[in-house]
Structure 1
Amino acid sequence: MAGYASGNRNRSRARDAQSINILAGKAVAKAVRTTLGPKGMDKMLVDGLGDIVITNDGATILKEMDIEHPAAKMVVEVSKTQDAEVGDGTTTAAVLTGELLTKAEELIEKGVHPTIISGGYRHAAEKAVEILKTITIDVSPDDRETLMKLAKTSLTGKAAGEYKDFLAEKALDAVLSVVEETNGNLSVDVEDITIEKREGGSILESELVKGLVIDKERVRPNMPRKIENAKVLLASFAIEFQKIEKSAEIKITSPDQMNLFVEQEEKMVKEMVDKIIASGANVVFCQKGIDDLAQYYLEKAGIYACRRITKSDLKKLAKATGATLFQDVTDIRPEDLGAADVVEERELHGSKMTFLLGCKEAKTASLILHGGTTHIVDSLKRALNDALCVIGVALEDKKIVAGGGSPEIELALRLRDYAATLKGREQLAVGKFAEALEIIPQTLAENAGLDPIDKLIDLRAQHEQGNKNMGLDVYTGKVVDMYENNVLEPLRIKTQAINAATEATVMILRIDDVVAATGRGGAMPPGMPQPDMDM
């Protein structure tokens, strides 16, 4: 290829490019596959600083892993999307993507063009979503028992699994306290639920607060510990003497001048505090610092003040109390203050936090998690977040399905029947899509130490007899009715995983040329061989 190997490009084409990309995608899926299901193993992730994360959460593992291959990153994106849309099922989505790539590779080796495979996969994904909707179970906000089963299923197999009954109840109560109804449709914003971690104590000491908890204490111990009928002021500016931004030199030649300068500073701080007091505020949350002198004046006025509040916490405070975030002291208006029934400081295991109860503007809840070590409370937070998301999407969609691999086996069975009605090579792609879905129950069996082939045969036999809820009980090794066995998942976990995995697979399959520009000092990504330039 004339002029091609000019030194500013590396290139991998056609079959080589597809093989390399498929291999990279499969490698990522393989990395998380052993974590799937209640019997899945954990991964220990160690970063360059020696910090450790121990988890079996697919999204966390893939996010923390140092992945540089461009095709592998697409599989990571599938997991991230699943986490953002549903909050759970991230490992399922990644494993399914890897298996779809494996089956596509088999077809490519038989001479089926990637475009045909892509079309068949998309067709199969659409049909799979249609089939899923025929095997759903309805759920309502009043059906507390079913919602509890959903939460327990999500928590099973995670670090906090033995406390799943206790934690599921906390998660359900938290979601129900923030759910909103608009024109008959329910919506749940999990961001309205704050999760705070506290090392020390037992997991059973974790509590739900129907209000907002901020991990900050009063700036001075003599400020009121509790304020009722709180008028909340949110400040993004510093309550302190405003330093001159431009370079300046002030010459002081006598003690009187020094006194005047100090008095002027004090006067400016006093004026700022006077404006805050005049607004009627009795609680102040400041994003930046509060001067010692300002603290004194605020304390004297009986105002509860906290400083160094994070931007995310300020947003939560604004939403919960209805307060406006003031950019400057001159912007303060009494009508823009927020409101809460009670603002108080409480001590938990040696550390102090601020509680806002009876917030006027928005529904809000906070979960305070306790655990023996940092790693325990971190894993607890990840598990609780999954449970909250699962309950939320189930309430929004009002549809759930049985778990334990039963939906995948049913889909595989029905898609094989559907493939038989198609003509041409697309039939092969739909058939391979059906085979790929069986990787989920197969992996569940492998991770539980069971024979995957025997279990797949048993599952297929049950579903062919019309028992669509039959799945694998990894604890007993038996094929049982998953609905009766209380293993339930939201419909959206399955539809999102199928759609995201299909789109990522199709994107990878359609790449037949990988070009890496090295003009800016780059090179082909690690793991990609340098291709032969003599074309």
Structure 2
Amino acid sequence: MILKKGSQEVKTKDSVIRNIATAAKAIGLTFYRGLGPNGMNIFVCDEKGDTFYAHDAYTALQAIRNSMSHPVARLIHEAVKTIDDNVGDGGKIFCILLGEAMKNAEKLREEGVRTANIIAGYSAAIKKSIDLLDSLAINVDESKLFHLIQHVIHRLPLSNIERDTITDLVIEAIKYVTADGSEFDPYFVKVKNKLGGDVSGSFLVKGVVIDKIWPGYIQMPQYVESPKIALLTSPIEIKKTSLKYEYVVSPKDVNGLKNVRDGVSEFYKSAVRHIVSTGAKVVLSRKELHDEVLEGLSREGVISAYRFNDEEILFLSRATGARPVHNHELLTSADLGEADIARQFKIGNERWILIEGCKRGSACTIVLRGNSFKALKMYEKAVTKSLRVARSFLLDRRVLPGGGATELYISQRLKEWAHNLQDQKSLPVLKMADCFEKIPYLLALNTGKDPWELLTRLRSLHFRGYPRYGIDSFGVLDDMVEKGVITPIKVVENILKILDEVLQQLLRVENVVIARQIKGNVTTR
């Protein structure tokens, strides 16, 4: 009666859960064979027709986000994006756990368990799992950071040389940013890509890299020591009240035209004199600078660049301590930032400006080199994931064993706890325990060995008091902490909290309404 022809509506509660579970299971199944270091890549073709390999959940879902027709798929994509932004890892585990949980919820509903009890049982099981992490976690020092980053990068399709190079750059950047004892913030580590060469040519700049282009005929200084830095957010332009002469002149009035030209030139010279009088030796503007301003600044020994976006201006302000000024006439020496060195640097056919030794914040830039754009994107993804995981580790130095050890430990403890429950919540708790056990099973499956044999032996070890034992990349059961296969506790906590939120959102859905897709351009008022 209400919906247009072509729309869909799912009405009954059982049909709703079945519909949602189908979408969640489809996404979870996508990453079954991609879990762990032996996982397979996902060959993705995006909307533009570009093809590439994806080894993490966010990259794969991000490429096809506009082609998703089911609302649950879009919700899962947003959840994976949140996990990737917060901790940088765990997207595939989240998708697999969510798919298994929705599949088991469908079975529980068919067995007669009420939806309210399923929601309560799942929520109680996840909260209990978060509490169990404290008993398994161990405190480690910063020396484990190398193994942690290697563990993250090892999941990406990179060679050993690429992994070692990226790991060294990331660790060097982290040490530089935290050298003054401040808390590590990935915001102060920027990544720049430059096509050409290979990954061995990548390097770390202990400062800010500015890759803006300025006119080639402007000969700016090559090197400035201890520069003062000015940030301008508005253009240096002429307004009607800026000139001493009338604008309206006849084309035949040579003197009038000369007066206007002289007034414009005097305005720009006055702006340059004022900026130089503040002591600024580097001028960075959000808007484009006039050629006369660039020429005047260069003659005074000032390095200048323009066309920065708001995010870049904010980063430069935080790194150098410079305060962004909207009107250049209001610029004072108190608004200037400080650094040790500002110099020009040529890389390939481009000229960059390097600002090293920022006084206010220890900012640095990782410059990545590669022989293709796809390789550069993969390197940048590895650096970004490593920085976010490192932040999680430095916030809380406790780690958990990898290789499926943590998931199997949670699974066994949940089963023991479920037997002491007296209501229907025990059934969803047992099903959630089965979801966690799926992770070590898939890791064993992807090693190429018999998964049930490995899982049975691993269960036996855990029952005998070896909860740190997991499955390594060769299908061997070993102590994951001693082998350096570890995960920050913050990463696992974040995955479980978001899993709890998404499950509650999906299981509380009463109806699913999918509107008819409108083709072509739509004009709205």
TM-score, scaled relative to structure 2: 0.91
Distance in 1 between residues matched to 2:369 and 2:511, nearest whole Å: 51
Pairwise mapping of residues 28-427 of structure 1 onto structure 2 (< 5 A)?
28-66=27-65, 67-140=68-141, 143-144=142-143, 146-162=144-160, 163-179=162-178, 187-216=183-212, 219-220=215-216, 222-241=219-238, 252-256=250-254, 257-427=256-426
Partner of 1:433: 432
Other structure's SS at 1:345 match: strand
Aligned residue for 2:118, secondary structure, equals: helix
**Unaligned stretches of 5+ residues in structure 1:** 517-521, 527-535
The 1:419–1:366 alpha-carbon spacing in structure 2 relative to 1, beyond 3 Å, is same
Which structure 2 residues correspond to residues 451-466 of structure 1 after superposition, within 5 A?
451-466=450-465
Structure 2, unpaired ranges of 5+? 242-246, 520-525
Change in CA separation of 1:58 and 1:5 when aligned onto 2, cut-off 3 Å = closer
Q: In the alignment, is the contact (CA less than 8 A) between 1:272 and 1:329 conserved in 2? A: yes
CA distance in 2, matches of 1:312, 1:87: 21
Q: Residue type matched to 1:512 in 2?
A: E
Are 1:17 and 2:22 matched, yes or no? no
- Are the equivalent residues in 2 in contact too, given 1:284–1:306 (CA < 8 A)? yes
Q: 1:5 to 1:212 in 2, by over 3 A?
A: closer
How far the C-alpha of 1:78 sits from its partner, in A, is 2.0
CA deviations 1:24-54 (Å, max 9, x no partner) are: 1222222333332212222343333334443
State the alpha-carbon separation in 1 of the partners of residues 236 and 44 from structure 2.
42
Query: Shift of residue 8 of structure 1?
Result: 11
Is the contact made by 1:216 and 1:353 (CA closer than 8 Å) also made in structure 2?
A: yes
The one-character-per-residue Cα deviations of 1:289-346 (angstroms, maximum 9, x if unpaired) are 1111211111111110111123222111101110011111222111111110101111
Give the CA deviation at 1:160: 2.9
AA partner of residue 73 (structure 1)? R
> What is the DSSP-based 3-state SS (H/G/I as helix, E as strand, rest coil) of the residue aligned with 1:325?
coil
TM-score (norm 1): 0.89
Deviates most, 217-226 or 91-100: 217-226
CA distance in 1, matches of 2:200, 2:239: 47
Structure 2 distance, partners of 1:50, 1:200, is 24
C-alpha distance in 2 between matches for 1:308 and 1:383: 28
Matching residue's letter, 1:500: I
Residues 270 and 6 of structure 1: CA distance in aligned 2, closer, same or farther (over 3 Å): closer
Q: Distance in 2 between matches of 1:463 and 1:165?
A: 33
> How many angstroms does 1:243 deviate by?
8.8
CA distance in 2: counterparts of 1:406 and 1:353, whole angstroms: 48
Aligned match of 2:487 in 484, 489, 508?
A: 489
Per-residue CA deviation, residues 268-306 of structure 1 (Å, 9 max, x unaligned), is: 222222221222111011111111121111111111011
Work out whether residues 339 and 359 of structure 2, in 8 Å CA contact, stay in contact via their aligned partners in 1. yes
Give 1:218 shift: 5.4
- On the 8 A contact 1:218/1:304 being kept in 2, the answer is no
The answer to whether the 8 A contact 1:139-1:395 is kept is no
SS at match of 1:34: helix
Aligned residue number for residue 501 of structure 2 = 503
- For the residues of structure 2 that align with 1:323 and 1:372, how far apart are their CA atoms? 36
CA separation of 1:288 and 1:450: change in aligned 2, threshold 3 A: farther
Distance in 1, Cα, partners of 2:281 & 2:109: 70
C-alpha deviation, 1:525, in angstroms: 10
Alpha-carbon distance in structure 1 between the residues aligned to 2:419 and 2:403: 27
SS at 2:226's partner residue?
Answer: strand
Determine the C-alpha separation between the residues in 1 that align with 2:100 and 2:338.
Answer: 53
- Name which of structure 1's ranges 92-101 and 396-405 shifts more when overlaid on structure 2: 92-101
* Contact preservation (8 Å) 1:57, 1:91: yes
What SS does the corresponding residue of 2:465 show, helix, strand or coil?
coil
**Do 1:68 and 1:525's aligned partners in 2 also have CA atoms closer than 8 Å?**
no
Q: Percent identity?
A: 27
Q: 1:351 to 1:253 in 2, by over 3 A?
A: closer
* Residues 305 and 505 (structure 1), Cα distance of their counterparts in 2 relative to 1, 3 Å cut: same
Aligned residue pairs total: 509
- The more displaced of 154-163 and 100-109 is 154-163
Work out the CA distance in 2 between the residues paired with 1:524 and 1:222: 56
Q: 1:55, CA displacement in angstroms?
A: 2.4
SS at match of 2:475: coil
**Residue 230 of structure 1: CA displacement?**
0.5
Aligned-residue RMSD, C-alpha: 2.5
Q: Could you say if the C-alpha distance between residues 450 and 262 of structure 1 is closer, same or farther in structure 2, counting changes exceeding 3 Å?
A: farther
